[in-house]
Amino acid sequence: MNPTSTLATAGRVLRQIRNDPRTIGILIALPCVLVGLVAWMFDGTPVLDQFGPLLVGLFPLIVMFLVTSVATLRERQSGTLERLMTTPVGKADVVVGYALAFGAIAVLQACVLAAFTVWVCGMDVAGELWVVLLVAVLDAVLGTALGLAASAVARTEFQAVQLMPVIIFPQLITCGLLMPRDAMPAALEAVSRVLPLTYGMEALQDLAAGAGFAEVRGAIGVVVLFIVGALVLGATTLRRRTP
């Protein structure tokens, strides 16, 4: 791995996104629209205060996962990945370069979304707001890291597409948003323990209920570990040689 190649890759990815207004729209505006719709649906009830922080963490994860998966799929289809693999660029440079570029966007996305939810929709967070923001950014970066790992593990474009729902749906079902995790069958609860989204959602639920950084830092640490793990998995499973 070498910093010049990593940063060059991050810069190239950001340039690509800058030239693509629709992707910028999906990344920044779509999560706001979704939260706005929820706020409008439950106008006059405490639902937004209770679930708003969760949505602020969830939507960026899904959006970033999809955008990253599509970006890396295009890298494969256009033949540029094959070409990159004939240059001195390290596999980790490609993976971390993408993570840095999308991480920068994740920060922007989470800030815009949190500001919109608090000031426009009127969400009242019982816990510390900056920690909600931190978890939202980490969740978005986690979405990117999972997208990178999935497309590195996939051997073909087809496998990469197949992996997308396989990764996202089990996490949605078991993360505690649909049903509190202590009310789940034991087997599902055990599954939720090994899936990363669970920990972000757990932290956000605690924050909505009035927790501060000290109470959720364990969960935040687990999310960070999952991010690092997914990036390492992505960098080590990406193949220079393809069938």
Partner 1 sequence: MRKTSGTAVRISGLGVVRGSGRRRVEVIRGLDVVVPSGEVVGLLGPSGSGKTTLMRAVVGVQDNVTGLVEVLGRPAGHPSLRRRVGYVTQAPSVYADISVVENLRYFARLLGASEDDVVRSLADVDLTPLADRRVGVLSGGERSRVSLALALLASPELLVLDEPTVGLDPVLRRDLWALFRRLADRGTSLLVSSHVMDEALRCDRLLLMRDGHLLADGTLAELLARTGTADIEAAFLALVEDEHPPVGDDPHDEETGR
For binding to partner 1 (CB under 8 A), which residues are involved?
4-5, 8-9, 11-12, 15-16, 19-20, 78-80, 82-89, 155-156, 239-243
Nearest to partner 1 of 20, 124 (CB atom): 20
Q: Smallest distance, Å, CB 6 to partner 1?
A: 10
Cβ atoms within 10 Å, residue 44: 6
DSSP 45-92: STHHHHHHHHHHHHHHHHHHHHHHHHHHHHHHHTSHHHHHTTSS--HH
Query: Measuring CA to CA, which residue among 60, 73, 173 is closest to residue 110?
Result: 60
Nearest to partner 1 of 13, 64 (CB atom): 13
Q: Smallest distance, Å, CB 5 to partner 1?
A: 5
Nearest to partner 1 of 15, 193 (CB atom): 15
Nearest to partner 1 of 80, 236 (CB atom): 80
Nearest to partner 1 of 16, 237 (CB atom): 16
Q: Smallest distance, Å, CB 9 to partner 1?
A: 8
User: Hey, what amino acid is at 10?
Assistant: A
Q: Smallest distance, Å, CB 152 to partner 1?
A: 15
Nearest to partner 1 of 80, 221 (CB atom): 80
Distance CA 211, CA 223 (A): 17
Question: Tokens 């949505």 sit at which residue?
Answer: 55
Distance CA 49, CA 53 (A): 7
Q: Smallest distance, Å, CB 237 to partner 1?
A: 14
Query: Measuring CA to CA, which residue among 167, 180, 160 is closest to residue 238?
Result: 160
Query: Measuring CA to CA, which residue among 123, 26, 130 is closest to residue 71?
Result: 26
Q: Smallest distance, Å, CB 92 to partner 1?
A: 13
